[in-house]
Amino acid sequence: MTPLPFVLQITEVLYFPYRNRLPSMNFEAEILADPHDNSELYVIPSMRSLTAEEYVEAFQSFLDHSTEHQCMDEFNKEVMPHIMAGLGNGKSTINILGVGSGTGEQDLKMIQILQAAHPGVLINNEIIEPNPQHVAAYKELVNRASDLQGVSFTWHQLTSSEYEQQVKEKNTHKKFDFIHMIQMLYRVEDIPNTIKFFHSCLNHQGKLLIIILSDSSGWASLWKKYRHCLPSTDSGHYITSDSITAVLRKLSIKYHVYEFPSGWDITECFTEGDPAGGHMMDFLTGTKNFLGTAPAALRSRLQEALCQPECSSRKDGRVIFCNNLSMIVAES
């Protein structure tokens, strides 16, 4: 699952700006951000949020110009072997659960690391993924792989909350040695209770991995200043790692945070008429054709904000947006 376009930095609490649109939300706490100084800027009727299909196109532009996947690969190389080595406690089968696994690329990379750490051990990999297209793509990826001997796959085409409800209704509380939630908590209704539930699904000495945008990323600063100017969305939360670690502390769960740098080359955002730059601005703002529909003052201020040190740096004449990730490993 991929992150939403903007993230609000919050200390010790979670924030959901559109509670009236989704009254089922249940948060540990809420706050309102400090009053902004751009009160003359506002959303005009021609501005609208991205549809699911438009978001996919904008997200692809993000992937094409960012190091997000390389960042995760670096984490897999430096940290994941140590995590995987401590799993299983000598058992002949290791149980894994991926929550919001999408099309499965990251899942299979982690399975390869686990296979290297535990040669010959059977791996039972279960997946929770509500998107049928993603499930189909994941299955096709597995069918094409040639190095998955001893690995079984079970897909649950459900949301995380539907899976939780099913487990509780059927009283089938299966335990797992490793559970991962990669860039998916943005779209969970009840974040604290979701973390609590899946942590309760861990075996003794099991690990829960949560990957989410870091508070050191440019998203936090940008969303805090400009979210009021953009079309609202009812599809998720704008959160960063501090919100998640606050929940873990409240639940008295031990954890460790690994920070990994990631960048996104947004130089084309400042080139008039550049198609890639247009997609980038759409992804940054969650707005369809932002450059063509937003008021001139908002376009100017947002582009200026993107160049500020809290959002971006310059390298060889390019503007590199800070897309740092936090890898949070919670213990059972």
State the chain's maximal CA–CA distance in angstroms: 64
Residue 68 annotated as binding site: yes
Instruction: Report the DSSP pairing between strands 122-128 and 151-156.
Output: parallel
Are 127 and 105 in contact, with CB atoms under 8 Å apart? no
Interacting residues of 173 by C-beta distance below 8 A, sequence separation 6+: 167, 200, 201
Are 141 and 119 in contact, with CB atoms under 8 Å apart? no
Instruction: Give the 3-state secondary structure of residue 276.
Output: helix
Residue 171 annotated as binding site: no
DSSP-assigned states of every residue in 173-223? ---EEEEEEES-GGG-S-HHHHHHHHHHTEEEEEEEEEEEE-TTSHHHHHH
Question: From edge to edge, which strands make up the β-sheet containing 176-182?
Answer: 151-156, 122-128, 93-99, 176-182, 202-213, 325-331, 255-260
- Pair of tokens at residue 220: 């936090």
**Annotation: binding site:** 68, 323
**Annotation: binding site for substrate:** 68, 323
